[in-house]
Structure 1
């Protein structure tokens, strides 16, 4: 991965809830947004959106393992609501967190 694409991936991993603006990232690195997106995909094998989703879902699984409430998991992963987080989780894994043994209680024990 070239330096710009690698740095973008690191930035997404550091702040998956609020990844950097691609327009601003491209401008700061002296390239166009389209070129940045092309390089990222060529070097990572996925789009920036797919990469961000993967990072968010890894974080979600980690937080769910720690019995963090669904609301907090959703917010820490960058979702505006629990409903949107649950929809993304279901699309990614094919089932809701409960199917994997994660409880839906809103208060951690």
Structure 2
């Protein structure tokens, strides 16, 4: 089974948002989210696009919901970006060449 695991602890630590900030970010934030992609053909652009969407959705779940508090929102966005980057790195380590450019 091909999966990626996005971890809140790593993403939140790197972006300087404390792990206990779930209430500020809008509710319960999962510690990690598993992204399955064994059903996707990564040799196909459509499959890659679906994987990118899944990774970004998982990153948003890990990092919390958008907020109107600008400083918190900036950290949340940094968390999402870092989680996506970590997922990219995980794919490269696993032997894939997927780039989730944004």
TM (norm. structure 1) is 0.31
The structure with more strand, counted as a fraction of residues? 2
Structure index of larger Rg: 1
Q: Which has the higher contact order (CA 8 A, sep 6+)?
A: 2
